[in-house]
Amino acid sequence: MEDRIDTKYSVNIPYEYHYKGQLRQGWINFVNLFRALLVIGTPGSGKSFALIEEIIEQMIEKNFTLLIYDFKFDTLSKVAYNYWRRKKERTIDANELSTLPVFYTLSFDNIEKSHRCNPIDPYLMRNQTDAADAATIIMKNLNKEWIKRSDFFSKSAISFVSGLIWYLKKKSEETGENICTLPHVITLSTINIEYLLEIMMTEVEVRSLMIPFKDAMERQAGQQLAGQTASAQISLSLLASKEIYYIMTGNDFRLDINNPQKPKIVCIQNNPDRSEIYAAPIGLYINKILQVVNKPGCRPLGLILDELPTVFIMGLRKIIDTGRSHYVASVLGIQSITQLIADYGRELAEVIFDNCSNVFTGAAKGETARRISEIFGRIHQEKKSKAISNNDTTVNFSTILSELLPKSKITSMSTGHFGGIVADTFENPIEQKLCFGLLKPNMESKKIQGKYEIPIHTKFKSKNHQELVESKLKLIHSLNFFEIVQNLDFSKTNYLDFYTNYTQKFATEQYGNHIQRMQFIPLALELKLFDHLQKLEEITKDDSDAIQKLEGYITALVDRMYIEKEIDKVLDANFMKVIHDINLLVEREYIRCTGNKPKLAVFDKQKITDEIAASLEKNEDIAKDFIKEYRSMPSKELADAFRRQHEIPIFEKVSAINQTDVVNGYLGILETLYSSYPIEMYKE
């Protein structure tokens, strides 16, 4: 179509096309994205650059709320943030500014920039069906083969997780504690099965879900019980990371992102290297959001799901079918139909393809090319043939039925070329719905996509952060670190050898003082020098002001080092709190049910993940090491004499910081924190 049809909900993209041998300019008018758009294209075809990014930009300009699934870290998130920020800066009217959506991100790989949200908050779990849906999403994303088939053990696993979720929902409402979260579900699954069934059978609404497991235990069918629960426990154990525990136990915002009073743009980031793990929590977020937003009286919502097959969303079919009346515009990106069939199963993939009224494809082949060619259909084309004989020349004209857009043409499309069909409305009918040509995205707007980084949401700096940094820099200066570091062998490629052998050899060569050698070696590890060898080499080669540049770079590394230590500290504390919550819950409920304390450890040691076990051991080791270090601490006079002799910087303020907190924080609560674990008293 050559005319632009611009409405308050439309997305309009210019394109070039050929008609009767002439190059013409036109518009692809998506006037009804509420009937869903399916974008297909192999990698490099331009589906994100030419279509999805354009849709995001125009939806933000028209005040849509957005849910964006960002498969490649923050690629689409950064694009959306810069378009949103430009819109905010352009908006002068205070009333209009107050209606702009608020920008949120969820990322398990960038804790500082990520917000926190609990997708199974008790407020959102209205009935047991919600718990069953959540369990299904989690388990099918962790076990993709269950999407297309299910057996006794897969159904048992889903039922088991559903029971865990609903039990924690009831206990959370009963106690007022924040224990109905996915991390608490994961931790609860590691409880000794005898204790777990004992306490859960007391809840009437959970009992029906737990009866098969209780029966198996009473019949001493240990192998069957293990098979029923192992599928759930093994799958959930994959999610036991401190980052997931931290993000999913907070509540910075509500999931009603199209709420007219509190509109939001939410970007959920994945990681291609960890997509199989992150798919479960991300699928849980998206599925719960789709349940919450699909209701009347809300703001228009753009649902942008590029690389859709990488995450299973159970409520997708419903949102495509019914979201139109609630102003939910679904934009789905896939690489091919066969990819969608492989990950979603043929039945659901067919429904998704058939129910998307807008379909566009870039370069594609096989099944995808065949289906798109069928959408364009066949037309009668005139064929001219010429026969030449000794006497005369005969010209024949005939018509043949041929494909309007052949499969071969779809397969050989260049980057940016797309073909497809658009849906119209009663108010804005489109006579020619089929189109094929070169899309012309707004290249001027592309220039601002990387202008600003997504801002940091949580600053992980301790109260004495600056003091710690300054103290470490004093040590660095005392070691002539900026001069010494220029002598490193920047060609080193073996990570383990660098820290275990090379740094010791290097320190021996550079320092005659034993104390300085012992200070340099751990400092190199703390600063992660191996990760920065290439950058250090670049700075060192700049003879003009290498020392000054090194000083600035190393100072930034020290600052970052203490930020990362604080992140680890916060994540460890949150992780331990979840374990502590479940430990106390199980002990309290078991005593209430039986009148006795558990005789064995509450947690089943065979089911505890490495992450949980490491945290428990780490905290006990910290307490043990602190006692040993504290008891052997030299007197102030001895330390002063030692410092004067070797000219070591004074760190009295830093070394004294939080000593009392460490004792109270670890030793004071150690017994109660691990009351279900056998405690070994360490003697010197």
How confident is the model over 329-336, as a mean pLDDT? 96
Together in a domain, 53 and 16: yes
**R_g over Cα of the chain:** 31
Taking only the tens place, the pLDDT of each residue in 282-302 is 999 999 999 999 999 999 999
pLDDT of amino acid 645: 40
pLDDT of amino acid 400: 67
CA distances in angstroms from 676 to 187, 604, 606, 668, listed in the order given: 14, 11, 15, 16
Confidence of residue 408 (pLDDT cuts 50, 70, 90): confident
Together in a domain, 529 and 621: yes
Taking only the tens place, the pLDDT of each residue in 117-142 is 999 999 989 899 999 999 999 999 99
Residue 388 φ then ψ, to 5°? -115, 125
How confident is the model over 500-518, as a mean pLDDT? 93
Confidence of residue 218 (pLDDT cuts 50, 70, 90): low
Taking only the tens place, the pLDDT of each residue in 420-456 is 999 999 999 998 899 999 999 999 999 999 999 999 9
- Single-letter amino acid code for the residue at 549: K
pLDDT of amino acid 468: 95
Together in a domain, 629 and 508: yes
d(CA 3, CA 430): 10
Together in a domain, 503 and 617: yes
**How many Å separate Cα 560 from the centre of its chain?**
23
How confident is the model over 490-510, as a mean pLDDT? 94
Does pLDDT of 648 surpass 50? no
How confident is the model over 111-120, as a mean pLDDT? 96
**How much of the chain exceeds pLDDT 70, in percent?**
84
d(CA 665, CA 615): 15
Q: Is 102 left (phi over 0), alpha (psi -120 to 50) or beta?
A: beta
d(CA 382, CA 378): 13
CA distances in angstroms from 248 to 106, 184, 193, 518, listed in the order given: 10, 10, 25, 41
Strand, coil or helix: 334: strand
Does pLDDT of 618 surpass 80? no
d(CA 449, CA 441): 13
Does pLDDT of 250 surpass 70? yes
d(CA 410, CA 368): 9
Contact 104, 264 (CB under 8 A): yes
**How many Å separate Cα 35 from the centre of its chain?**
27
Candidates 633, 635, 620; CA nearest to 682 is 620
Residue at which a domain ends, from 246, 279, 310? 246
- Single-letter amino acid code for the residue at 200: M
For residue 666, tell me if it sits in a domain.
yes
Count CA atoms closer than 13 A to 572's CA, side-chain side.
16
Identify the weakest region by mean pLDDT among 118-132, 140-154, 446-460, 546-560.
Answer: 140-154
Taking only the tens place, the pLDDT of each residue in 44-67 is 999 999 999 999 999 999 999 999
Task: Give the domain range for residue 607.
Answer: 464-684
Residue at which a domain ends, from 221, 246, 271? 246
Confidence of residue 226 (pLDDT cuts 50, 70, 90): low
**How much of the chain exceeds pLDDT 90, in percent?**
65
Contact 75, 424 (CB under 8 A): no
d(CA 504, CA 277): 38
CA distances in angstroms from 637 to 275, 451, 475, listed in the order given: 56, 56, 21
pLDDT of amino acid 616: 57
DSSP 28: E
Identify the weakest region by mean pLDDT among 5-14, 202-211, 472-481.
Answer: 202-211
For residue 473, tell me if it sits in a domain.
yes
Dihedral in degrees, nearest 10, Cα atoms 321, 326, 327, 330? -30
Candidates 216, 167, 165, 170; CA nearest to 193 is 216
Write out 230-272 in H/E/C secondary structure: HHHHHHHHCCCCHHHHHHCCCCCCCCCCCCCCCCEEEEEECCC
For residue 455, tell me if it sits in a domain.
no
d(CA 284, CA 65): 19
For residue 376, tell me if it sits in a domain.
no
For residue 383, tell me if it sits in a domain.
no
For residue 346, tell me if it sits in a domain.
yes
Confidence of residue 672 (pLDDT cuts 50, 70, 90): very low
Strand, coil or helix: 21: coil
Together in a domain, 544 and 659: yes
Together in a domain, 218 and 318: no
Q: How many domains does the chain have?
A: 3
Q: Which residues pair with 210 in a beta bridge?
A: none
d(CA 433, CA 535): 54
Contact 679, 670 (CB under 8 A): yes
- The CA angle 15-16-22, to the nearest 5 degrees, is 155
Strand, coil or helix: 70: strand
Q: What is the torsional sign of CA 396, 399, 401, 402?
A: positive
For residue 565, tell me if it sits in a domain.
yes
How confident is the model over 210-239, as a mean pLDDT? 76
Residue at which a domain ends, from 191, 224, 246? 246
How confident is the model over 175-204, as a mean pLDDT? 91
Together in a domain, 492 and 434: no
Together in a domain, 440 and 468: no
Does pLDDT of 652 surpass 60? no
Contact 40, 466 (CB under 8 A): no
pLDDT of amino acid 428: 92
For residue 340, tell me if it sits in a domain.
yes
Together in a domain, 354 and 485: no
How confident is the model over 568-586, as a mean pLDDT? 94
The DSSP bridge pattern shows strands 301-305 and 417-421 to be: unpaired
Candidates 178, 148, 125; CA nearest to 342 is 148
Strand, coil or helix: 399: strand
Does pLDDT of 625 surpass 70? no
The DSSP bridge pattern shows strands 264-269 and 328-334 to be: unpaired
Together in a domain, 342 and 312: yes
What is the number of residues in the chain? Answer: 684
Q: Which of residues 669 and 403 earns the better pLDDT score?
A: 403
- Single-letter amino acid code for the residue at 666: Y
d(CA 283, CA 270): 11
For position 434, which CATH number holds?
3.40.50.300
Strand, coil or helix: 557: helix
d(CA 237, CA 576): 16
Together in a domain, 433 and 506: no
Q: Which of residues 387 and 445 earns the better pLDDT score?
A: 445
Count CA atoms closer than 13 A to 267's CA, side-chain side.
25
Together in a domain, 112 and 129: no
